[in-house]
């Protein structure tokens, strides 16, 4: 009887130790629940006490493995068609693997159903945490319910996942600041505070399903709208609302087709186009292709984002004025910090707890600061830092 009682006490003590060690780890709450069940059965028979002790030992081993840097992380990227997502995915995979994690990296070819299926497979194949750059921020609610049921934390990567309470954290660059820097660049280059004007401008932003596009556009328009209202900036096409100037899938071809129509209707008679606000490099490339084919005037100021190789080459050639540089190595490193903190039972580092409401609540976020590159500083930012080699830009 004494041996039986001693076995029960030891099992209960081990289970309590595991519960204490896992407290606060959102990625281990499934194991915590299993340990609690084991504790209940330990109060019954000697056999169930032995089972609880074994279960507690196994859970303790798993917790120790996670604390040592082990575990499986699913990384869902939207597409390989844009250079920046290839860089994001490869940078994150390399850093996570260097930190000791197994990585399941998937690209979804900009197909929502494919991304949903990939995430579902990650959940079912033992991923303990998910990092997701969504194709459409509103399309993942159902599959993320599965992650929530299994207590799998979710970090929304660069694009906020909307209308889901399964999102634990958000990691991105300051998207509103991206837009303000683009707007300020146009303001400063045209000297809008001093020049007489008026100047003609056209507006091109990103995918309407990407929540970031609204932040980019909003930040830029908060700078530019007062000049439009005052008549110093004129949008000759009349296309100024977000829905009209949005570009599905951030498509170069779609931006080019729309710009073809704008030039034909408004600038074919020699009217000067002074600036084009483009929210990213793929849309900027479409605008530049259209201008080369259809526009005969002086090249306008053109903004961009991501510093894609083709666009940096255009910048050097004088066909694009600037591009926001978001060093994906910086963001990948921060996400690895966040993953490591969560997997080891802590809370991820954040610096914004007010801005990003996904419809279910404000998501704690870490915002990296963007900078802009132009012909004057691209070598320092892109080449000297090792992001590109000189030969990449030839």
Structure tokens at 89: 């995915």
Q: For position 374, what pLDDT does the model report?
A: 97
Distances (CA, A) of 128 to 25, 231, 338: 11, 55, 13
Q: For position 146, what pLDDT does the model report?
A: 96
- Interval 292-340: pLDDT, tens: 999 999 999 999 999 999 999 999 999 999 999 999 889 989 999 999 9
Q: For position 13, what pLDDT does the model report?
A: 40
Instruction: Calculate mean pLDDT across residues 359-372.
Output: 95
Q: Are 128 and 340 in contact (CB under 8 A)?
A: no
Region of residue 197 (left: phi > 0; alpha: psi -120 to 50; beta: else): left
pLDDT of 34 over the 60 cut: no
Long-range contacts of 359-362 (CB under 8 A, 24+ apart): 359/162, 359/163, 360/163, 360/164, 360/165, 360/167, 361/165
- Cα–Cα dist 240/81, whole Å: 28
- Interval 282-294: pLDDT, tens: 999 999 999 999 9
Kindly give the interhelix angle for 141-149 and 112-124, rounded to the nearest 10 degrees.
10
Higher pLDDT pick, 157 / 70 = 157
Distances (CA, A) of 8 to 5, 12, 16, 88, 288: 5, 6, 12, 51, 74
Q: Which helix (H) or strand (E) holds 105?
A: strand 102-107
- Cα–Cα dist 112/267, whole Å: 37
User: pLDDT-based confidence at 12, cuts 50/70/90?
Assistant: very low
Instruction: Calculate mean pLDDT across residues 41-67.
Output: 38
Classify the C-alpha dihedral 195-201-205-211 as positive or negative: positive
Distances (CA, A) of 125 to 103, 119, 189, 221, 329: 12, 10, 52, 44, 27
């Amino acid at each position: 009887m004494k041996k039986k009682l001693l076995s029960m006490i030891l099992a209960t003590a081990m289970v309590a130790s595991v519960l204490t060690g896992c407290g606060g780890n959102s990625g281990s709450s499934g194991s915590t629940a299993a340990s609690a069940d084991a504790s209940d059965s330990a109060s019954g028979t000697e056999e169930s006490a032995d089972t609880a002790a074994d279960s507690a030992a196994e859970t303790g081993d798993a917790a120790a493995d996670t604390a040592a840097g082990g575990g499986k992380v699913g990384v869902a990227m939207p597409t390989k068609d844009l250079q920046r997502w290839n860089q994001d995915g490869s940078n994150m995979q390399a850093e996570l693997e260097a930190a000791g994690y197994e990585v399941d990296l998937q690209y979804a070819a900009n197909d929502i159903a494919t991304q949903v299926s990939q995430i579902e497979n990650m959940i079912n194949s033992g991923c303990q945490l998910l990092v997701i750059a969504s194709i459409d921020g509103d399309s993942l609610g159902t599959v993320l319910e599965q992650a929530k049921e299994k207590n799998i934390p979710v970090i929304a990567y660069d694009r906020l996942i909307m209308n889901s309470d399964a999102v634990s954290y958000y990691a991105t660059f300051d998207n509103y600041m991206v837009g303000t820097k683009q707007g300020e660049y146009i303001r400063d280059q045209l000297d809008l505070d001093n020049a007489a004007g008026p100047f003609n401008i056209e507006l091109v932003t990103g995918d309407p399903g990407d929540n970031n596009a609204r932040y980019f556009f909003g930040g830029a328009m908060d700078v530019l709208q007062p000049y439009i209202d005052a008549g110093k900036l004129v949008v000759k096409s009349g296309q100024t609302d977000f829905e009209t100037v949005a570009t599905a899938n951030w498509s170069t071809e779609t931006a080019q087709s729309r710009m073809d129509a704008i030039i034909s209707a408004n600038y074919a008679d020699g009217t000067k186009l002074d600036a084009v606000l483009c929210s990213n490099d793929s849309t900027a490339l479409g605008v530049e292709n259209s201008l080369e084919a259809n526009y005969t005037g002086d090249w306008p100021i053109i903004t961009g984002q991501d510093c894609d190789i083709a666009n940096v080459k255009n910048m050097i050639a004088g066909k694009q004025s600037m591009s926001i540089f978001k060093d994906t190595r910086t963001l990948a490193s921060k996400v690895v910090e966040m993953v490591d903190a969560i997997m080891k039972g802590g809370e991820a580092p954040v610096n914004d707890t007010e801005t990003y409401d996904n419809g279910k609540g404000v998501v704690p976020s870490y915002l990296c600061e963007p900078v802009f590159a132009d012909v004057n500083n691209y070598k320092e930012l892109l080449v000297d830092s090792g992001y590109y080699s000189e030969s990449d830009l030839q």
